[in-house]
Structure 1
Amino acid sequence: MSFRTKRVIISTLLVMIYEFFLMKYLFLLFGGLDDIYLLLLTILFGILNMVPMFFEEKKSRPITRLLDTISGFWIWMSLFYLFVILIIYIGGVYIDWPFYIIVILVLLVPLLTVYSYFHAHKIIIHERTIQMDNINEDINIAHLSDVHFGSTRHDKIIRDLSDKLKELSDYCDLAIISGDIVDGSSAIEEDDFLPLKDVNMPIVFTPGNHDSYLDIEDVFGACRNAGIIVLDDEGMEFGNLNIFGMTFIFGMTRKFEEFEVVSTGVLGDFVKEDKVNIIIFHVPKNWEDFSKLGFDIQLSGHTHGGQFHPLTWICDLIWYNRGLFKANIGGKDRYLHVTTGVGSMDYPFRWGTDSEIVVLKLRKND
């Protein structure tokens, strides 16, 4: 049983308890509903959340992907219905809400859900400039992360990603995917990423935590079949760039081999003073440590930028959540870029963040 499967089973049991009381108080706004019907609805939603997962892990099918998406719609809505209920019940201590206000607040949730769904499926291109001393020519990198190919974001997200990267291929020198090309919710077939083979620039990929939730070798096989360069604790040179891809897997082992952390000695030896040294590391951590070893730029993802309000604001406060960060470390300007990702965590909804590809424009300091 995979890490993700265990997580979904445990979380589903907790979510079912939450949803029972959520629906109880939601229906009370309109006269109430007998507990036996609430229990039946709760069980139905629990089954809908878990059953497709067991089929998807063996082979992905349109029907199970559809059921998984329907489940995602309700779970997303149930989160925001919590906010609505808190507003109505707590505010009701001080305000006598007119019934039409209650209806409007309740109807806002499905409207926000539909908007968030379509917004999550639109890939936005952003641009950011990085000023460097040790660069002898302009270089443009398409940085992306967290594609999360799986049950709810399947072949369409790969086609959309391919189309966007083809648009950028005349403008960018290479693309870098900093982890989680899959989300571990469905089996990976060798032809799943084939549309990316039509992109007319090199695509580099380094694994993140989700890539190992099932069989990471299947992910590697699909990548290589699509012409994607896999940097799995290894490096490469590309013009003036010296790129190291450090795989991130937490609390797990691969199916065929034990995961070993790359030593600081190996990383330090890899750095070349006459080149721009880039490390691909899925999570936006250890930036200062990597910088002290000589890496000029760290490319990360993982956070999804918080994915939706109000979580975005909380995440902005506690870590490097999204955007480009600059600091003088070891006497040089060092950069950390954290993209909000192309896909989405478990459920395909975004509110307050974009599904993005960021063009990083590396330019020589004036």
Structure 2
Amino acid sequence: MTTTTESPGEESRAAKAAPVSRKRPPVITVVVVFSIVGLLHAYMGWRLIPGLQLSLACNAALIVLLALSTLLIPMSLLVPFLAGKLSKRTASVLAWAGLLAMGCFSSMLILTLLRDALLLSLWWFLGVDTYLWLFHTTAVLVVGVSLLLTLVGYYNARRTPRTVHVQIPISNLPPALVGFRIAQISDIHVGPTIKREFLQRIIERVNTLDAHVVAITGDLVDGSVSELAEHTEGLRDLRSVYGSYFVTGNHEYYSGADAWIAELRRLGVNVLHNQHCVIQHDNSRLLLAGVSDYSGHHFGEHHRSDPHAALIGAPVHLPKVLLAHQPRSAAAAQKAGFDLQLSGHTHGGQFLPWNWFVPLQQPFTAGLNKLGNLWVYTSRGTGYWGPPKRLGAPAEITLISLVAA
């Protein structure tokens, strides 16, 4: 049983390109973000604090907390741009505090808006006493439910992801490939709040699955190689019959994609950069290909996602599986003749309100879907991005089994 890698031309075009540097956001962008976050916090304070009916001292404390949250949320997003100017401990504290505040703020903002819509729709029909009781009760509920959702979301995000078993029927699948297993992990986002220990739990769980192949479908990291190499070192311990395969996600390009491609190859992970390999399994063969992220061309033409280029020189009439970070690569993958695409990127929405916006950008949000003759499986992600919070979109390690159609 062997794995033969084939390339559509240059063996590693990525290695020839200059690393992508992380540019600081313009000052005007920072000012606008702080202003918007501040205004939204002011709105919540204006609408909630009077309804809580607390003492002046408690009201003052709440105002201080809202002001602190206003500062911490943007600061947590700026931490990656301040690398080298902050100690690791300071950066970690800022990231954790700001991202936890962001998670709580998002729930509280949505619930405050819903509360105001409810009060506005009922004020004409209620007496003064009933309206004032509702004004107080709903304010308390908004704060209490927001804190509860933040705690539940934190638990969901930080626990070891569950294993999701999926069978996908492939037309004309050779008998020897029935039951071929691909363990997919995606969107781990090793970075500000996800470190070595979290990744190690994922690796240990994957290694129990007895997979033939491990597929890492992008957004592995949120930071540079120099910052995170010690935390991703465990990837060399991933175990499967034919090895681990990786494709870039959009976040690799924010973190220096070329450097990460080189680092993953050093760790023994096969990077498929618009390339394919042919896996010899018993008496049959499976074609496994991978493309750069859908947005990769914005960071250099050599990173343009191209499923057709990934098949140059490929044998015909083999079952074809494509690793592509974003589900919206599916249209090109279908035209190229792939049978199955494995993607991530969406996090399944992760938590409200983001799951309302994912369908505006992506054709599929989560799970198994079909586009013509192409199956597309979209992982909800194995880690999380931003706030350590997941609600209604549990993280997953996916074990995909190929079966005959």
Do both proteins adopt the same fold according to a TM-score greater than 0.5, normalized to the shorter chain? yes
The verdict on how the C-alpha distance between 1:43 and 1:338 changes in structure 2, with shifts beyond 3 A counting, is: closer
**Number of equivalenced pairs:** 357
Structure 1 gaps, min length 5: none
3-state SS of paired residue (2:374): strand
Matched, 1:26 2:71: no
* Equivalent position amino acid for 1:323 in 2: G
- Distance in 2, matches of 1:60 and 1:236, equals 43
Greater Rg by CA: 2
Q: After superposition, where does 1:233-252 map in structure 2 within 5 Å?
A: 233-239=274-280, 240-248=285-293, 250=295
Q: Which residue of 1 aligns with 2:269?
A: 228
Cα distance in 2 for partners of 1:252, 1:131 equals: 33
One-letter amino acid of the structure 1 residue matched with residue 341 of structure 2: Q
Give the CA deviation at 1:291. Answer: 1.8
SS at match of 1:190: helix
Matched, 1:111 2:142: no
Q: Pick the structure with more helix per residue.
A: 2
Aligned residue runs from structure 1 range 1-366, under 5 A? 2=22, 5=25, 9=30, 11-31=33-53, 40-41=67-68, 44-45=71-72, 48-49=75-76, 52-56=79-83, 61-93=88-120, 94=122, 96=131, 97-98=133-134, 99-122=136-159, 123-132=161-170, 133-137=172-176, 138-168=179-209, 170=210, 172-184=211-223, 188-201=227-240, 202-239=243-280, 240-248=285-293, 250=295, 254=299, 258-261=301-304, 266-309=309-352, 311-312=354-355, 315=358, 319-327=363-371, 329=372, 333-365=373-405
SS at match of 2:229: coil
Partner Cα separation in structure 1 for residue 296 and residue 105 of structure 2? 30
Distance 1:12 1:209, change over 3 A: farther
Using the alignment, how far apart are the partners of 1:267 and 1:186 within structure 2? 26
How far off is 1:36 after superposition?
8.7
Q: Confirm or deny: 8 A CA contact 2:225 2:260 kept in the other structure.
A: no
Partners of 2:386 and 2:86 in 1: how far apart? 18
The answer as to whether partners of 1:120 and 1:348 remain within 8 angstroms in 2 is yes
Q: Which amino acid aligns with 2:200?
A: R
Distance in 2 between the 1:226 and 1:165 partners?
Answer: 17
Change beyond 3 A, Cα 1:115–1:270: farther
The worse-fitting range, judged by mean Cα deviation, of 55-64 and 197-206 is: 55-64
Conserved 8 A contact 1:146-1:304: yes
**Aligned 8 A contact 1:183 1:346 in 2:** no
Q: Percent sequence identity over matched residues?
A: 24
CA contact (8 A) 2:275 2:309 kept: no
Cα distance in 2 for partners of 1:3, 1:147 equals 23
Superposition deviation, residue 80 in structure 1: 1.3
1:82-129 C-alpha deviation (Å, 9 max, x unpaired): 222223333234162443453233111111101101101220110111
Please give the TM-score of this superposition, normalised by the length of structure 1: 0.85
With over 3 angstroms needed to count, the CA separation of the structure-2 counterparts of 1:152 and 1:292, relative to structure 1, is same
When the two chains are superposed, the root-mean-square deviation of aligned CA atoms in Å is 3.1
Instruction: Say if 1:218 and 1:278 are closer, same or farther in 2 by CA, change over 3 A.
Output: same
Deviations 1:172-201 (A, max 9, x none): 111101111112488544333222222222
Task: Spell out, residue by residue over 1:265-318, the C-alpha distance to the aligned partner (whole angstroms, 9 max, x if none).
Answer: 534534533321112111111423322221111111111111114543564586
Kindly indicate whether the alpha-carbon contact (under 8 Å) linking 2:295 and 2:305 is maintained by their aligned counterparts in 1.
no
> 1:326 is matched by which residue type in structure 2?
K
